[in-house]
Amino acid sequence: MSKIRLGIIGPGIVWERARDKVNHLFNILISGMENNNLDKLKQCEKIESEIDLMVKEIRISHLKRLQNGECMPLSGVVFADIILHLERTGDLLFGISRNLLNIEQY
């Protein structure tokens, strides 16, 4: 069971970790592109999967906070949008790395 579900770490810390993971994915992608490093480009899939898992945990935790009245619905909508865009950014970065790997095959 994840630490967020157990309530060991708070939503702010998890959000920061997810943001940092997206930044890490971006940096790995750029490094792989600049140095034509296929191994770095291949790492992007694993990192993107980790982002997806973190986002899922963030959403579950967020819904529980909404149900418990720990946050306001309007701020909850904004938070949900931020998380959605964070996940999309990870997906787009992974898509770029996948396309670069496909180009290298030809």
* Pairs from 37-41 (Cβ < 8 Å, separation ≥ 24): 38/101, 38/104, 41/97, 41/100, 41/101
pLDDT at 72: 83
Q: What is the mean pLDDT of residues 43-51?
A: 96
Q: What pLDDT score does 94 carry?
A: 97
Buried b (16+ CB within 10 A) or exposed e, 3-42: ebeeeeeebeebbebbeebbeebbebbeebeeeeeeebbe
For residue 63, pLDDT beyond 80: yes
79 membership: H or E segment, kind and range: helix 73-105
Q: Is the pLDDT of residue 61 over 50?
A: yes
pLDDT digits (tens, 9 = 90+) for 4-46: 443 444 556 777 888 999 999 999 999 999 998 999 999 999 9
Q: Is residue 104 predicted with pLDDT exceeding 80?
A: no
State the residue for tokens 């140095």: 35
Q: Say whether pLDDT at 62 is over 90.
A: no
Per-residue pLDDT at 6: 39
Q: Is 62 left (phi over 0), alpha (psi -120 to 50) or beta?
A: alpha
The residue written with tokens 């998380």 in the block is 83
Domains annotated on the chain, with CATH: 3-105 (1.20.58.220)
Task: Supply 98's token pair.
Answer: 């996948």
Q: What is the predicted pLDDT for the residue at 86? A: 92
Q: Which of 7-11, 18-22, 50-54, 58-62 has the lowest mean pLDDT?
A: 7-11
